[in-house]
Amino acid sequence: MTERMTMIDVLDPATEQVIETVPQATAEDAGEAIRRARDAYPAWKAVAPDDRARLLRRFAAAVDADRERLARLESSNAGHPIRTARQEAAGVRDVLEYYAAAPERLFGRQIPVRGGLDVTFREPLGVVGVIVPWNFPMAIASWGFAPALAAGNTVVLKPAELTPLSALRLADLGRQAGLPEGVFQVLPGKGSVVGQRLVDSVDVRKIVFTGSTEAGRRVMAGCAAQVKRLTLELGGKSANVVFADADLERAAATAPYAVFDNAGQDCCARSRILVQRSVHDRFLELLEPAVAGVRVGQPADESTEMGPLISAGQRSAVASYVPPGAPVAFRGTAPDAPGFWYPPTVLAPVAATDRAAVEEIFGPVVVVVPFEDEADAVRIANDSPYGLSGSLWTRDVGRALRVARAIETGTLSVNSHSSVRYSTPFGGVKQSGLGRELGPDALDGFTDVKNVFVATDY
């Protein structure tokens, strides 16, 4: 029996109004998309490296010409401030341009051996399924599909149910740029339907999943049944460690943007601020005006720095971490209007074992926890099942290197809150992820090494 396609209303989280109604793919639709990708793969793999590079550059140019439209879609659908959304649209262009250089640089190796010549080749995997979350729909999608396409794979991308619009537009732009039919497809639908079909299909050779650790466990278990290649980018509870010798003014001024960016809906959010006890009170004094200064408002407003949460459910989940009587040190402001708003909130004093200091909140709530010395800071930072990102602030270069090596996290910045650059590796450790995205070695995750020995002594 053929499944009936359903429709989903896509909301603007800043107004709670319907933007667009989008069809949701069924399991049958997903199976057909996988078959198209499988059938398109041999021809795409056979495209000469310089021609594949040229197509990716054309795709990047199409994105560049459409930046404002993409930014408006992301701003209205995901609630991102328009200035941020423009940067994200430009980032998709940059990621495509970066990986457009890769097809012509998929070098193998010549290995000295007795009795012949040994060479290796980097071969694409086949069909890659990319499952994208709702917090950074456009950016995270590009981190998966750009290197996958560059390596010669075909891609079926499933955007989050709440935020499909920018991904659908990117699929249009890929077609306009000349990508062959079936090479890059976007399929909106439920994770339990479309995502599960991608995980279960024997024709899908790799899954790229970004989302919660709980969902990642299920994806990992499904891939294990087929020994399927997998990249996981999961949750985080990152620490922002501030030592007494740091530039406190700068650390405090920038700390809100390390956690309240995208309303805290960021797995890299530095949602634990660890401050050396001797400067703890002074840091809070400096942090309060910085939090009050975060401009929360309509995403379309050019001055807005933080928009709404994605949904009413997400707002309720965030609010559960700040029950009546919670130790709220101070708060910023948020509009009193329709929309899923929540003010930037700082909790202190908070013990390192409190729920708000342990669990991923995924909203604009940060805890401030004191520490005694370097060893104590490392202990508290590592006392977490997560290890995705983080920051540390100190003027002591030796300490910076020691602590950076000691903190168990995949991406760390010193005297900065930078997390992601397309030209450097990104990924987590412990329950924050598996594998690495981005950077010059990203294509290793989208290719297999084939070893060939040619005998010369016969």
Annotated catalytic sites, by residue?
A: 233, 267
Contacts of 173-180 with C-beta under 8 Å, sequence gap 24+, read 173/59, 173/62, 173/63, 173/66, 174/59, 174/62, 176/62, 177/55, 177/58, 177/59, 177/61, 177/62, 178/55, 178/58, 179/55, 179/59, 179/149, 180/40, 180/43, 180/44
For residue 10, give the H/E element and its range: strand 6-12
Contacts of 18-23 with C-beta under 8 Å, sequence gap 24+, read 19/76, 19/77, 19/165, 20/165, 22/164, 22/165, 22/168, 22/188, 23/188
CA distances from 306 to 79, 99, 259, 434 (A): 9, 31, 11, 30
Q: Give first-to-last CA distance, the chain, whole Å.
A: 60
Q: Which two tokens stand for residue 160?
A: 């989050």
SS3 content of the chain, % helix, strand, coil (to 5): 40, 20, 35
DSSP state of 412: -
Contacts of 326-332 with C-beta under 8 Å, sequence gap 24+, read 326/356, 329/284, 329/288, 329/368, 330/288, 330/291, 330/292, 331/291, 332/256, 332/260, 332/291, 332/292, 332/293, 332/294, 332/296, 332/364
Cβ(184)–Cβ(174) below 8 Å: yes
Cα gap 308→13, rounded to integer Å: 6
